[in-house]
Structure 1
Amino acid sequence: MKIIPKIEPLAQIYLNGKPAKISDITGQELCDWLMGEFQQLPVNIIPSDLERYETAQEMLDDLSQERLYVSGQSYDTEVYPQFFCGFAFQAIHDYDHYQNNSDFNLSGEIASYRATANRAPSLEIQKILYSEIVLKSAARLYLGHEPESKIVFA
Protein backbone atom coordinates (compact mmCIF):
# COMPACT_ATOMS: atom_id res chain seq x y z
CA MET A 1 0.00 0.00 0.00
CA LYS A 2 1.36 3.40 -1.00
CA ILE A 3 1.27 6.16 1.59
CA ILE A 4 0.18 9.46 0.07
CA PRO A 5 1.21 12.54 2.04
CA LYS A 6 -1.53 14.91 3.08
CA ILE A 7 -1.95 18.05 1.02
CA GLU A 8 -1.82 20.66 3.78
CA PRO A 9 1.70 19.97 5.16
CA LEU A 10 3.19 19.98 1.65
CA ALA A 11 1.25 23.12 0.73
CA GLN A 12 2.52 24.88 3.85
CA ILE A 13 6.12 24.03 2.98
CA TYR A 14 5.59 25.74 -0.37
CA LEU A 15 3.53 28.68 0.85
CA ASN A 16 5.74 29.47 3.86
CA GLY A 17 9.07 28.61 2.25
CA LYS A 18 11.53 31.25 1.18
CA PRO A 19 12.43 31.24 -2.52
CA ALA A 20 15.56 29.17 -3.10
CA LYS A 21 18.54 30.62 -4.89
CA ILE A 22 19.33 28.66 -8.03
CA SER A 23 22.85 29.06 -9.38
CA ASP A 24 23.30 30.11 -13.00
CA ILE A 25 25.05 26.81 -13.66
CA THR A 26 22.14 24.77 -12.25
CA GLY A 27 19.64 26.93 -14.14
CA GLN A 28 21.48 26.31 -17.39
CA GLU A 29 21.80 22.59 -16.64
CA LEU A 30 18.04 22.49 -16.02
CA CYS A 31 17.28 24.26 -19.31
CA ASP A 32 19.69 22.09 -21.29
CA TRP A 33 18.14 18.94 -19.85
CA LEU A 34 14.58 20.19 -20.43
CA MET A 35 15.42 20.98 -24.07
CA GLY A 36 16.76 17.46 -24.59
CA GLU A 37 13.68 15.94 -22.98
CA PHE A 38 11.37 18.22 -24.99
CA GLN A 39 12.96 17.20 -28.29
CA GLN A 40 12.21 13.55 -27.51
CA LEU A 41 8.46 14.04 -26.98
CA PRO A 42 6.59 12.00 -29.62
CA VAL A 43 3.60 14.36 -29.83
CA ASN A 44 2.76 17.65 -31.52
CA ILE A 45 3.17 20.40 -28.92
CA ILE A 46 0.86 23.34 -29.63
CA PRO A 47 1.26 26.69 -27.83
CA SER A 48 -2.08 27.98 -26.58
CA ASP A 49 -3.36 31.25 -25.16
CA LEU A 50 -6.13 29.37 -23.39
CA GLU A 51 -6.03 28.32 -19.77
CA ARG A 52 -4.52 25.00 -18.77
CA TYR A 53 -6.47 21.76 -18.98
CA GLU A 54 -9.26 21.59 -16.41
CA THR A 55 -9.03 17.81 -16.07
CA ALA A 56 -6.40 15.20 -16.75
CA GLN A 57 -8.92 13.41 -18.97
CA GLU A 58 -9.07 16.41 -21.35
CA MET A 59 -5.30 16.31 -21.62
CA LEU A 60 -5.19 12.52 -21.99
CA ASP A 61 -7.78 12.71 -24.79
CA ASP A 62 -5.63 15.22 -26.69
CA LEU A 63 -2.48 13.19 -26.12
CA SER A 64 -4.19 10.06 -27.45
CA GLN A 65 -4.53 12.11 -30.68
CA GLU A 66 -0.77 12.85 -30.49
CA ARG A 67 -1.21 16.53 -29.66
CA LEU A 68 -0.75 18.55 -26.51
CA TYR A 69 -1.77 22.14 -25.91
CA VAL A 70 0.56 24.02 -23.57
CA SER A 71 -0.76 27.26 -22.14
CA GLY A 72 1.36 30.26 -21.34
CA GLN A 73 -0.64 30.42 -18.10
CA SER A 74 0.72 27.05 -17.02
CA TYR A 75 4.23 28.14 -16.15
CA ASP A 76 5.99 31.18 -14.80
CA THR A 77 8.88 32.51 -16.83
CA GLU A 78 10.49 34.08 -13.76
CA VAL A 79 11.29 30.63 -12.36
CA TYR A 80 13.22 29.58 -15.48
CA PRO A 81 16.33 31.31 -16.84
CA GLN A 82 14.94 31.17 -20.40
CA PHE A 83 11.35 31.64 -21.57
CA PHE A 84 11.16 28.40 -23.54
CA CYS A 85 12.36 26.28 -20.60
CA GLY A 86 9.07 26.78 -18.72
CA PHE A 87 7.11 25.86 -21.84
CA ALA A 88 9.24 22.74 -22.33
CA PHE A 89 8.86 21.81 -18.65
CA GLN A 90 5.05 21.99 -18.85
CA ALA A 91 4.96 19.80 -21.98
CA ILE A 92 7.29 17.22 -20.41
CA HIS A 93 5.34 17.23 -17.15
CA ASP A 94 2.00 16.78 -18.92
CA TYR A 95 3.40 13.98 -21.07
CA ASP A 96 4.58 12.22 -17.90
CA HIS A 97 0.97 12.41 -16.64
CA TYR A 98 -0.05 10.69 -19.88
CA GLN A 99 2.64 8.01 -19.63
CA ASN A 100 1.55 7.24 -16.06
CA ASN A 101 -2.18 7.69 -16.73
CA SER A 102 -2.21 9.95 -13.69
CA ASP A 103 -4.68 12.62 -12.63
CA PHE A 104 -4.04 16.16 -11.38
CA ASN A 105 -4.62 15.13 -7.76
CA LEU A 106 -1.69 14.86 -5.35
CA SER A 107 -1.03 11.18 -6.01
CA GLY A 108 -1.04 11.86 -9.76
CA GLU A 109 1.38 14.75 -9.35
CA ILE A 110 3.67 12.56 -7.24
CA ALA A 111 3.58 9.85 -9.93
CA SER A 112 4.45 12.43 -12.57
CA TYR A 113 7.25 13.82 -10.39
CA ARG A 114 8.77 10.36 -9.89
CA ALA A 115 8.77 9.70 -13.63
CA THR A 116 10.45 13.02 -14.38
CA ALA A 117 12.88 12.93 -11.44
CA ASN A 118 14.11 9.47 -12.43
CA ARG A 119 15.46 11.02 -15.63
CA ALA A 120 16.88 14.18 -14.04
CA PRO A 121 20.65 14.59 -14.35
CA SER A 122 21.29 15.79 -10.79
CA LEU A 123 19.93 16.00 -7.26
CA GLU A 124 19.67 19.80 -7.60
CA ILE A 125 17.32 19.41 -10.57
CA GLN A 126 15.32 16.75 -8.71
CA LYS A 127 14.84 19.28 -5.89
CA ILE A 128 13.63 21.92 -8.35
CA LEU A 129 11.23 19.39 -9.88
CA TYR A 130 9.92 18.45 -6.42
CA SER A 131 9.15 22.09 -5.72
CA GLU A 132 7.57 22.70 -9.13
CA ILE A 133 5.55 19.49 -9.30
CA VAL A 134 4.75 18.21 -5.80
CA LEU A 135 4.93 21.25 -3.52
CA LYS A 136 3.42 23.78 -5.94
CA SER A 137 0.63 21.31 -6.86
CA ALA A 138 -0.13 20.71 -3.18
CA ALA A 139 -0.37 24.48 -2.68
CA ARG A 140 -2.68 24.79 -5.72
CA LEU A 141 -4.93 22.01 -4.44
CA TYR A 142 -4.94 23.49 -0.93
CA LEU A 143 -5.68 27.06 -2.05
CA GLY A 144 -7.99 26.22 -4.94
CA HIS A 145 -5.94 28.42 -7.30
CA GLU A 146 -2.38 28.78 -8.54
CA PRO A 147 0.03 30.03 -5.87
CA GLU A 148 2.79 32.54 -6.52
CA SER A 149 5.55 30.81 -8.46
CA LYS A 150 8.82 30.15 -6.69
CA ILE A 151 11.24 27.33 -6.05
CA VAL A 152 11.29 26.07 -2.46
CA PHE A 153 13.73 23.49 -1.16
CA ALA A 154 12.08 21.40 1.55
Structure 2
Amino acid sequence: MATKTEKLAKIYLEGTPAEISEETSAEFCELIMSEFRALPFAVQASDSMRYETVEELFADIEKEHLWVSLETYGADFYPNPFYGFAFLAVHDYDHYLSHSDFTLEGEIKAYRTIASRFPSLDMQKILYSEIVLKSAAHIYLGYTPEPKLVFA
Protein backbone atom coordinates (compact mmCIF):
# COMPACT_ATOMS: atom_id res chain seq x y z
CA MET A 1 0.00 0.00 0.00
CA ALA A 2 1.38 3.39 -1.01
CA THR A 3 2.11 5.98 1.66
CA LYS A 4 0.53 9.43 1.65
CA THR A 5 3.88 10.87 0.54
CA GLU A 6 4.12 8.43 -2.36
CA LYS A 7 0.53 9.10 -3.48
CA LEU A 8 1.03 12.88 -3.47
CA ALA A 9 4.46 12.58 -5.11
CA LYS A 10 3.00 10.54 -7.96
CA ILE A 11 0.27 13.12 -8.52
CA TYR A 12 3.04 15.68 -9.01
CA LEU A 13 5.46 13.51 -10.97
CA GLU A 14 2.89 11.93 -13.28
CA GLY A 15 0.58 14.92 -13.57
CA THR A 16 0.17 17.01 -16.68
CA PRO A 17 1.34 20.60 -16.17
CA ALA A 18 -1.60 22.88 -15.41
CA GLU A 19 -2.47 25.84 -17.57
CA ILE A 20 -2.88 29.12 -15.73
CA SER A 21 -4.53 32.23 -17.16
CA GLU A 22 -2.41 35.35 -17.44
CA GLU A 23 -4.87 37.09 -15.13
CA THR A 24 -4.49 34.44 -12.40
CA SER A 25 -0.71 34.43 -12.82
CA ALA A 26 -0.53 38.22 -12.51
CA GLU A 27 -2.81 38.26 -9.47
CA PHE A 28 -0.83 35.46 -7.80
CA CYS A 29 2.49 37.24 -8.41
CA GLU A 30 1.05 40.51 -7.12
CA LEU A 31 -0.07 38.81 -3.89
CA ILE A 32 3.30 37.07 -3.48
CA MET A 33 5.09 40.42 -3.87
CA SER A 34 2.76 42.05 -1.36
CA GLU A 35 3.51 39.24 1.12
CA PHE A 36 7.25 39.49 0.36
CA ARG A 37 7.33 43.25 0.99
CA ALA A 38 5.60 42.71 4.35
CA LEU A 39 8.21 40.24 5.65
CA PRO A 40 9.64 41.58 8.93
CA PHE A 41 13.26 40.65 8.15
CA ALA A 42 16.01 40.98 5.57
CA VAL A 43 16.10 38.35 2.84
CA GLN A 44 19.37 37.39 1.19
CA ALA A 45 19.90 35.15 -1.84
CA SER A 46 22.37 32.29 -1.85
CA ASP A 47 23.54 29.73 -4.39
CA SER A 48 24.52 27.24 -1.72
CA MET A 49 22.70 28.01 1.53
CA ARG A 50 19.81 25.67 2.35
CA TYR A 51 18.34 25.15 5.77
CA GLU A 52 18.72 21.54 6.86
CA THR A 53 16.51 22.01 9.94
CA VAL A 54 13.70 24.32 10.91
CA GLU A 55 15.67 25.23 14.02
CA GLU A 56 18.30 26.88 11.78
CA LEU A 57 15.56 28.63 9.80
CA PHE A 58 13.75 29.83 12.93
CA ALA A 59 17.00 31.07 14.52
CA ASP A 60 17.80 33.23 11.49
CA ILE A 61 14.26 34.63 11.33
CA GLU A 62 14.48 35.53 15.01
CA LYS A 63 17.70 37.42 14.14
CA GLU A 64 15.66 39.24 11.44
CA HIS A 65 17.45 37.55 8.56
CA LEU A 66 16.64 34.79 6.08
CA TRP A 67 18.73 33.03 3.45
CA VAL A 68 16.81 31.93 0.38
CA SER A 69 18.12 29.52 -2.22
CA LEU A 70 18.27 30.78 -5.79
CA GLU A 71 16.59 27.52 -6.84
CA THR A 72 13.64 28.41 -9.02
CA TYR A 73 10.16 27.27 -8.15
CA GLY A 74 7.64 26.95 -10.96
CA ALA A 75 10.14 28.46 -13.39
CA ASP A 76 7.74 28.44 -16.35
CA PHE A 77 4.91 29.83 -14.27
CA TYR A 78 6.61 32.96 -12.95
CA PRO A 79 7.14 35.80 -15.44
CA ASN A 80 10.42 36.60 -13.65
CA PRO A 81 12.63 34.32 -11.48
CA PHE A 82 12.43 36.83 -8.63
CA TYR A 83 8.82 35.80 -7.99
CA GLY A 84 9.98 32.25 -7.23
CA PHE A 85 12.60 33.67 -4.87
CA ALA A 86 9.96 35.83 -3.16
CA PHE A 87 7.63 32.84 -2.91
CA LEU A 88 10.32 30.79 -1.15
CA ALA A 89 10.92 33.57 1.39
CA VAL A 90 7.20 33.86 2.13
CA HIS A 91 6.89 30.07 2.36
CA ASP A 92 9.81 29.84 4.81
CA TYR A 93 8.16 32.50 6.97
CA ASP A 94 4.96 30.43 6.94
CA HIS A 95 6.97 27.54 8.41
CA TYR A 96 7.96 29.91 11.20
CA LEU A 97 4.42 31.26 11.72
CA SER A 98 2.93 27.75 11.81
CA HIS A 99 5.80 26.21 13.82
CA SER A 100 6.06 23.50 11.17
CA ASP A 101 8.98 21.38 10.07
CA PHE A 102 10.11 20.13 6.66
CA THR A 103 8.17 16.85 6.79
CA LEU A 104 5.12 16.37 4.59
CA GLU A 105 2.91 17.17 7.58
CA GLY A 106 4.91 20.35 8.18
CA GLU A 107 4.57 21.38 4.53
CA ILE A 108 0.81 20.81 4.71
CA LYS A 109 0.66 22.99 7.83
CA ALA A 110 2.69 25.74 6.11
CA TYR A 111 0.41 25.43 3.05
CA ARG A 112 -2.69 25.93 5.20
CA THR A 113 -1.11 29.03 6.73
CA ILE A 114 -0.59 30.78 3.40
CA ALA A 115 -3.74 29.39 1.74
CA SER A 116 -5.83 31.13 4.38
CA ARG A 117 -4.47 34.46 3.10
CA PHE A 118 -5.04 33.77 -0.62
CA PRO A 119 -8.67 34.29 -1.65
CA SER A 120 -9.25 32.24 -4.77
CA LEU A 121 -9.39 28.51 -5.33
CA ASP A 122 -7.08 28.86 -8.36
CA MET A 123 -4.41 30.47 -6.19
CA GLN A 124 -4.85 27.84 -3.50
CA LYS A 125 -4.34 25.15 -6.17
CA ILE A 126 -1.09 26.84 -7.25
CA LEU A 127 0.05 26.91 -3.63
CA TYR A 128 -0.93 23.26 -3.11
CA SER A 129 1.12 22.23 -6.14
CA GLU A 130 4.12 24.38 -5.19
CA ILE A 131 4.13 23.44 -1.51
CA VAL A 132 2.46 20.10 -0.84
CA LEU A 133 2.78 18.16 -4.10
CA LYS A 134 6.28 19.38 -4.97
CA SER A 135 7.48 18.74 -1.40
CA ALA A 136 6.02 15.23 -1.46
CA ALA A 137 7.87 14.57 -4.73
CA HIS A 138 11.10 15.94 -3.21
CA ILE A 139 10.76 13.74 -0.12
CA TYR A 140 9.87 10.71 -2.25
CA LEU A 141 12.70 11.17 -4.77
CA GLY A 142 15.34 12.52 -2.38
CA TYR A 143 16.02 15.48 -4.68
CA THR A 144 14.12 18.44 -6.11
CA PRO A 145 11.91 17.46 -9.05
CA GLU A 146 11.55 19.50 -12.22
CA PRO A 147 9.34 22.52 -11.49
CA LYS A 148 5.78 22.48 -12.78
CA LEU A 149 2.30 23.21 -11.55
CA VAL A 150 -0.08 20.27 -11.22
CA PHE A 151 -3.70 20.56 -10.22
CA ALA A 152 -4.94 17.40 -8.50
Shorter chain as denominator, the TM-score bin is: over 0.9
Question: How big is the shift at 1:74?
Answer: 5.4
User: How is 1:23-38 mapped onto 2 (pairs within 5 angstroms)?
Assistant: 23-38=21-36
Using the alignment, how far apart are the partners of 2:77 and 2:144 within structure 1? 14
| Cα deviation, residue 60, structure 1 | 1.2
- Cα distance in structure 2, aligned partners of 1:148 and 1:74: 10
Q: Is the 2:74–2:149 Cα contact (8 Å) retained in structure 1? A: no
Amino acid at match of 1:39: R
Alignment-mate amino acid for residue 125 of structure 2 = K
> What do you get for the CA RMSD once the two structures are aligned?
1.3
3-state SS of 1:69 partner = strand
Unpaired segments of 5 or more residues in structure 2? none
Conserved 8 A contact 1:51-1:73: no
Structure-2 separation of matches of 1:123 and 1:78: 20
Following superposition, which runs of at least 4 residues in structure 1 exceed 4 angstroms of deviation? none
- The gaps in structure 1 that reach 5 residues or longer are none
- What are the equivalent positions in structure 2 for 1:5-154 lying under 5 Å apart? 6-73=4-71, 75-154=73-152
Q: How many residues align?
A: 150
- Identical-residue share of aligned pairs (%): 56
Q: Deviations over 1:65-118 (max 9, x none)?
A: 111001102535323122221111000000000111110000100000000000
- How far did residue 16 of structure 1 move? 0.5
